[in-house]
Amino acid sequence: MPTIKKILVANRGEIALRVMRTAREMGISTVAVFSEADRNAPHVKYADEAVCIGPPPSKESYLLGDKIIAVAQSLGVDAIHPGYGFLSENAGFSKAVKEAGLIFIGPSPESIEIMGDKLSSKHAVASYNIPMVPGTPDAITDRVAAKAKAAEIGYPILIKASAGGGGKGMRVVEREEEFDEQMDRAVGEAISAFGNGSCFIEKYITKPKHIEIQVMGDQHGNVVYLFERECSIQRRHQKVIEEAPSSVLTPAIREAMGICAVNVAKACNYYGAGTVEFIVDENLDFYFLEMNTRLQVEHPVTELITGVDLVKEMIHVAEGKPLSMKQEDLQIKGHSIEVRVCAEDPANNFLPNVGTLQTYVRPQGNGVRVDDGIEEGMEIPIYYDPMIAKLISYGDTRTEAIEKMIRAIDEFKITGVATTLPFCKFALRHEAFVSGNFDTRFVSLYFTPEVLEEEADKTELEIVAVLAAELMKHKNKPKVADNGSALVNNVSQWRKNRAKLR
């Protein structure tokens, strides 16, 4: 069985550091690759060795699989970890790594290939009794037949590109009269974005929660699930806040989803870390959407509630070792929330806001984890994803995790670039979030730039209230501050449904 002694991380920023930290804990030495824009980046300084692979644009650096493999071979690297994004879900890269005699710390090229296409993933799981949204099992070739099917399902329906991702090639159709136009758009978008125009239709779930299950498999056919992450707070298909566990799942639904996720993984002989994505409707019925064959941005919330280091486990299974845990060893302890700190201005339609980080002071203390790849004084490169840090809180209960997160957001001092932190604070304090009664429409339903100002006013009012209460204490008898929110009486729809299911 090969033992990995040296890992090259084919990525940058926070995830490169995240992977290298675990490697170092395991006594494995690390190689960073970097573009000219990242010469002084923390991931380059942290690595034992670092090699410049090209100019700033990703296509000339972080996406150059062959060049990265050549660097690995020249430095005596045993294994390559791809992180997320870039080459992480590129079956050709995973295959080329293997063929170069190196270990790819991730799934097989075949698993990536099958799950990279929504229709082929649906076919792969067909014999496993996985609940799926009513729809067409194959690409639409005959529009008359497709419209008949849509009428049978009932409008609104959703047209999805099989190769799709990030909402590209996805179109809602409200009425049959719009079908052809929306179909043309979806196909056109899919061809230009993915070079593959195949599309299928599904019933449109109008108020879905996005809930995903973390799975981990080894090369001996064992797969476990590490529970769910609730990722419904999204904007333009970019997740902004994630948490684990979900506040609406019952133990029975959690187990049913977990078993489904394990079966999805087994359907493609999966090994490594993976995520099975579901949507959950208002009745708490869940449907398999797709599988992501990588370590995800939001993996830390799962690590905090399970105590499992997912990167360590990925390295173990890449070496051919069996999973270090069985399903019955896993349990949820506590609650964790992650907010993505992006260099985007929430007051200005979340426009990317690059510049120099004048001030960068991280929050600290009990129940707070910060995963980042930047430091004070750095210029945020325009070439890559605008996410500059992940702020993660952990507490015994959901309320505690929210309280710690708000405290941590207040401690986080960033100047020089606008960030999504004020939006995150707004969301964490919103009644819908606090009650658990929210779905993927959260941002469009509740957020306008004005709420950020109201939020600032609210904070001021609270300070006044606290001061007033202090004064009263000294003047009269102690008075219990009434900070109990209106939420106590506001029973969420999601929770009501949960109660019915018990």
In the complex, the smallest distance separating the C-beta of residue 160 from ligand MV4, rounded to whole angstroms, is 7
294 is catalytic: yes
CA 106 to chain centre: 17
In the complex, the smallest distance separating the C-beta of residue 249 from ligand MV4, rounded to whole angstroms, is 18
**Of residues 239 and 404, the one with the C-beta less far from ligand MV4:** 239
Q: Which run of H or E residues covers position 365?
A: none
CA distance 166 to 185: 16
β-pair partners for 103: 79
**Of residues 203 and 369, the one with the C-beta less far from ligand MV4:** 203
**Of residues 167 and 449, the one with the C-beta less far from ligand MV4:** 167
Alpha carbon distances (Å) from 15 to 11, 216, 389: 7, 18, 10
Burial of 33 (0-12, 13-18, 19+ CB in 10 A): buried
In the complex, the smallest distance separating the C-beta of residue 321 from ligand MV4, rounded to whole angstroms, is 32
**Of residues 33 and 280, the one with the C-beta less far from ligand MV4:** 280
CA distance 22 to 41: 19
**Of residues 275 and 306, the one with the C-beta less far from ligand MV4:** 275
- In the set 294, 340, 398, 498, the catalytic residue is 294
Residues in CB range of 201: below 8 A, 6 or more apart: 135, 136, 140, 146, 149, 150, 153, 157, 158, 159, 160, 173
Q: Which residues of 174-184 are buried (b: 16+ CB within 10 A; e: fewer)?
A: eeeeebeebbe
Query: In the block, which residue shows the tokens 């957020």?
Result: 447
In the complex, the smallest distance separating the C-beta of residue 204 from ligand MV4, rounded to whole angstroms, is 5
In the complex, the smallest distance separating the C-beta of residue 431 from ligand MV4, rounded to whole angstroms, is 21
Alpha carbon distances (Å) from 272 to 53, 90, 300, 433, 475: 27, 15, 16, 32, 63
Max Cα-Cα span within the chain? 79
In the complex, the smallest distance separating the C-beta of residue 156 from ligand MV4, rounded to whole angstroms, is 9
Angle between helices 450-475 and 421-429 (to 10 degrees): 60
**333 three-class SS:** coil
**Of residues 48 and 178, the one with the C-beta less far from ligand MV4:** 178
Residues at the interface with ligand MV4 (CB under 6 A): 133, 158, 167, 170, 202-205, 208, 210, 234, 237, 277, 279, 289, 440
The residues that are catalytic are 294
